Amino acid sequence: MRLILYITTLLCACSCYAQEYAFPPNFQFGVATAAYQVEGGWNSSGKGENIWDRLTHTRSELITDGSNGDIACDTYNKAIEDVQLLKSLGVDFYRFSFSWSRILPTGTANKINPDGIRYYNEMIDELLANGIKPFATMYHWDLPQPLQELGGWPNSVIADLFADYANVLYENFGDRIKDWITFNEVGVFCGGGYESASMAPAYNGAGFGVYLCGHTVLRAHGKAYRLYESKYKASQGGRVGITIDSGWYEPASESPVDIEAAETAIQMGFGWFAHPIFSTDGDYPPVMKQRIAQKSAEEGFSRSRLPEFTSEEIAEIRGSSDFFGLNHYTTNRCTIIPDGWGTPPSQWTDAGALCSQDADWEPSASSWLKVVPWGFRKLLVWIKNEYNNPEVVVTENGFSDRGELRDCRRINYYNSYLEQLLKAIHEDGCNVSGYTAWSFMDNFEWMRGFTERFGLYYVDFNDPNRPRTPKMSYYVYKNILATKRVDWKYSPDSFDECEF
């Protein structure tokens, strides 16, 4: 009896302690948005057309509510007032993206739009004047349409044009921006854009275009990183990274076959971009090269559908990131694909993995997003082990609903995921230095239009002034930032308590 009591006390002491973990003193918190999702001003003062302008204007039937980002949150006109909202939230940094077409209307660096430079200058200056660090993404999915006319990312020339664009950004803003992300979620925009037609430019190039896209983007990233290193780093003293997205891939069972399927899925979904940059050998993951070469041969292709890097490119890309930007939302369970499943060539028949979500995992407003906090910790540990514990900045994490102000389910998501993050830091020794909530405010959720809301601020898209109203989760996140702790009992006065 005494022994049982002793064990119970010990267990309680451990779990109580676990809840008491705090974020390290220098841990940085932020919120994120992306240009096309919030800015609006789609053709204001010299901005050029991009692939999302084109898609939403010509194929609105593909967008759930037929909407577009022409006005979105009207951040183009409200960026300065929004800084006060960021300040009151207490963030260390604000992650936003540059609109390539606002800076370079035709996509090429021979013609710079002065209003684009003005707009971002004013926002950056206002952020800094209010003690908020600008954390800038160069490319969050909005390729200038003239470059799409050349074939878009599958055209390898775009890598050089991206480096030219990066040069314009470093030159104009690098005196004040010290944290750069070249690309956001390459796997998603290459997959959606050139594999499954579920993102602009909605091209269906399954098993082929998707790898050409990824290849150009990796080369573009390497060029932009090396450009900063050789021309700007000494004088500007900033850092350049990339944001790669990944769910956690859990084996569907303990069987070696499922374990292998889940590992192949993560290597070919996440390692596709992480291995060339963060592994000691560089290049694509060996399993990815081997599987795509084999499948391509079986399908009658004369060479692998996965392009090859030259040894110079491998060297340029390897180590080309000063931190590991990670976007994470959810988890899948993977097994091997049954015979005859899918239509090759495709990314998934190449990987040979069939991944799905448990029916009893808590849903969100997005079909792909289920609440699985433990997957976050497993992914962080996998990164630590696979890539020698790099410095990770979580550049996105968040939950969608229909826009409720008393958003208890979002609070549950943030609290649970942040608890797992704390365990990864304190119990697993993962080197995570920052966290970014997606999103600062409700915005244009790509093909889902305004039907899925991720914001800490509610935005009324029916009101021409686009008023922003803080949701309950805004206050909870603010409290986490102020106390550096997750506190399930915290409840802002203005709302009825949530039941967890």
Best CA proximity match to 191, nearest among 54, 368, 67: 368
Please tell me the count of residues contacting ligand NOJ according to CB under 6 A.
Answer: 9
Nearer to ligand NOJ, 349 or 439 (CB): 439
Per CB under 6 A, 438 contacts ligand NOJ: yes
Per CB under 6 A, 396 contacts ligand NOJ: yes
Active-site entry in 126, 185, 419, 445? 185
Distance of closest approach, residue 443 Cβ to ligand NOJ, in angstroms: 7
Among 327, 335, 415, 436, binds ligand NOJ (CB under 6 A): 327
81 is catalytic: no
Letters for 447-466 (x = contact with ligand NOJ by CB under 6 A, - = none) are: -------x------------
39 is catalytic: no
Nearer to ligand NOJ, 34 or 394 (CB): 34
Distance of closest approach, residue 70 Cβ to ligand NOJ, in angstroms: 17
436 SS3 class: strand
Q: How far apart are the first and last CA of the chain?
A: 32
Nearer to ligand NOJ, 195 or 445 (CB): 445
Nearer to ligand NOJ, 197 or 315 (CB): 197
CB atoms within 10 A of CB 492: 14
E strands within 203-323?
239-245, 248-251
361 SS3 class: coil
The alpha carbon of 87 is separated from its chain's Cα centroid by a whole number of angstroms, namely 23
Nearer to ligand NOJ, 37 or 101 (CB): 37
Q: Is the dihedral of CA 458, 462, 466, 467 positive or negative?
A: negative
Per CB under 6 A, 184 contacts ligand NOJ: yes
Active-site entry in 195, 396, 419, 452? 396
Residue 152 is given by DSSP the state S
Nearer to ligand NOJ, 69 or 174 (CB): 69
Distance of closest approach, residue 180 Cβ to ligand NOJ, in angstroms: 16
Per CB under 6 A, 250 contacts ligand NOJ: no
Kindly list the distances between the CA atom of residue 375 and the CA atoms of 303, 357, 381, 438, 453, in Å, as whole numbers in the listed order. Answer: 37, 12, 10, 18, 22
Per CB under 6 A, 34 contacts ligand NOJ: yes
Distance of closest approach, residue 428 Cβ to ligand NOJ, in angstroms: 25
On whether the CB atoms of residues 373 and 328 are closer than 8 A, the answer is: no
Nearer to ligand NOJ, 29 or 96 (CB): 96
Per CB under 6 A, 413 contacts ligand NOJ: no
Per CB under 6 A, 50 contacts ligand NOJ: no
Residue 236 is given by DSSP the state H
On whether the CB atoms of residues 500 and 412 are closer than 8 A, the answer is: yes
Within positions 282 to 321, which residues make up the interface with ligand NOJ, using CB under 6 A?
none
Distance of closest approach, residue 130 Cβ to ligand NOJ, in angstroms: 24
Structure-derived torsion over alpha carbons of residues 168, 170, 174, 177, reported in degrees to the nearest 10? 100
Distance of closest approach, residue 369 Cβ to ligand NOJ, in angstroms: 7
Among 185, 283, 322, 401, binds ligand NOJ (CB under 6 A): 185
Distance of closest approach, residue 285 Cβ to ligand NOJ, in angstroms: 23
E strands within 254-361?
324-327, 331-336, 353-356
On whether the CB atoms of residues 398 and 329 are closer than 8 A, the answer is: yes
CA distance 56 to 71: 12
- Helices 373-386 and 408-426 pack at an angle, to 10 degrees, of 30
Contact residues for ligand NOJ (CB under 6 A)?
34, 37, 184-185, 327, 396, 438, 445, 454
Annotated catalytic sites, by residue?
Answer: 185, 396
